[in-house]
Each structure stands twice: as structure tokens, then as C-alpha cells.
Amino acid sequence: EAYEALQRKNSAVLGGMLWLRLGNRRITTAIDLSALGLDRIEETEDYIRIGAYVSLRRMETDACLRTAFGDVFSDAVKSIVGVQFRNMATVGGSIWGRFGFSDVLTVFLAMDSYVELYKGGIIPLEQFAKMKKDNDILVRLIVKKTPCKIIYSSVRNQRTDFPVLACAVSYMNGQYRASVGARPSRAMLLCSEKEEGFAAFVAENAPTEGNMRGSAAYRTHLIKVLVERSMNELGGM
């Protein structure tokens, strides 16, 4: 029913509404999915399913996510405005928006992550991140418990500002993975089995642009620095 309603002109799914309220878009049909049980984090032996209505704060403090992946989610969202904001902002809104500044998209992209779409089914997050927005509905984010070491870092001009650059580096299935966000374009993923020269490889192949927060050259420099630091923390280099 919600999917059918969303196909109408000027329809919108309501999430945390923190970004939606900043726009001037005319909405004639507002679709509320809050009664569908999508505010749950469900754990199985092989994966963790995060409903689209789960708040960033809930994700930040959830015990099963912390047990499986350590403090990486807390590190990724701790600078997103404040606790009150993170109590309202949703995982679904953060992922669906595919915003260039998204810490949430950046960290999940470096993991074995998938999205569940109502119409499109389950697809890799990397594929979803490259897609244009359409009128499908994001139901859940699925993170497989693939053995993974991961470090998240970002540079901000001030604590609660959008990131100048966001970076998640992981080692999984014998491969180094670097997700680079706030380029300022949406996050992208680069992978290599080679440890040596990986930071330079990422910096050379992740396009950057300049804006009010930093120049393209500065962002490219930050990519190399953050990837090198993250690999040191992972035990490499």
C-alpha cells in the first residue's frame, strides 16, 4: 500500500524528517511506515538486520552491533550534531539519501553490507550507492558477519559540522577496502589485495572536488593521510 502511494506525484516517505524539513518541496501524500516494525535490530548467526526506522542513537549504542564490529558505529556517528538529533535521525533516511556528507553510508560501505528494497529486493550497498533515486522503499540494511577489521575516521572544521572528508578502512576476505565519503560527492569504495601503496592508490583513484569546507587538493591529501593512519591501527603498514 505504501509503495503504491509513493508512485503518486508529490509523495514522500516520512523518516526522522530532519533533512526533509529543511527543504521547500510540496508534499501532498506523506507516508508513515512507523507501525511496520522497522525500528528493530535483528541478529542471526550470519548477519544483522537493521530496520529503516532504527535511529542513529540506537545503532550507536546497540550491544549486538558493538559485539560484532566494535566501536566503529559509535566512532562514525558521534559527531553528527548531538544525542537529541541522533535519537530522531534514522538509518534508512541516512542510507536512502545517499548524501555526499553521510558518515553512515561511508562506514557501511566498507563492510559486507546490503540493502533490502521493497521492489528491488536485496542488493549490495555498493551497487545501491551508485544508483539514481527512484520511488522504491528502503526496508532494511543487512550487514553480514563476515570477519572484518574496520576503522572509521573523519576530518571536520568543527566538531558537529559536516565532514571535510570521511573515511572507513577495513580488511576483509584477504582484501583492503577503503570507503571515501564527503569528497564532497557520495561515498565510493576502492579495494585492493595489496597492502603496500594502498593509501596512495586510494588517493589517486578517489575523485575530489572543492567547496566551502576544503579544496580538492586538500581532500586528496586527507585521503592518503587517513587511509595510512587507519591501516596502522588495523595492524598493517
What phi and psi, each to the nearest 5 degrees, are found at residue 101? -90, 5
Residue 210 CA to residue 157 CA, distance in Å, equals: 14
Q: Has this prediction a pTM greater than 0.85?
A: yes
Instruction: Provide the pLDDT confidence category of residue 45 given band limits of 50, 70 and 90.
Output: very high
12 and 29 Cβ atoms separated by less than 8 Å: yes
Residue 204 CA to residue 223 CA, distance in Å, equals: 9
Cell of 154: 573523519
Q: What is the pLDDT of residues 57-111, one digit of tens each?
A: 999 999 999 999 999 999 999 888 888 889 899 999 999 989 889 999 999 999 9
The per-residue pLDDT of the chain, averaged, comes to 92
Length of the chain in terms of residues written: 237
Residue with more model confidence, 20 or 136: 136
Percent of the chain scored above 90 by pLDDT?
81
Is 164 a residue whose pLDDT tops 90? yes
79 and 103 Cβ atoms separated by less than 8 Å: yes
Q: What is the largest CA-CA distance in the chain?
A: 55
Q: Is the peptide bond before 147 cis (omega within 30 degrees of 0)?
A: no
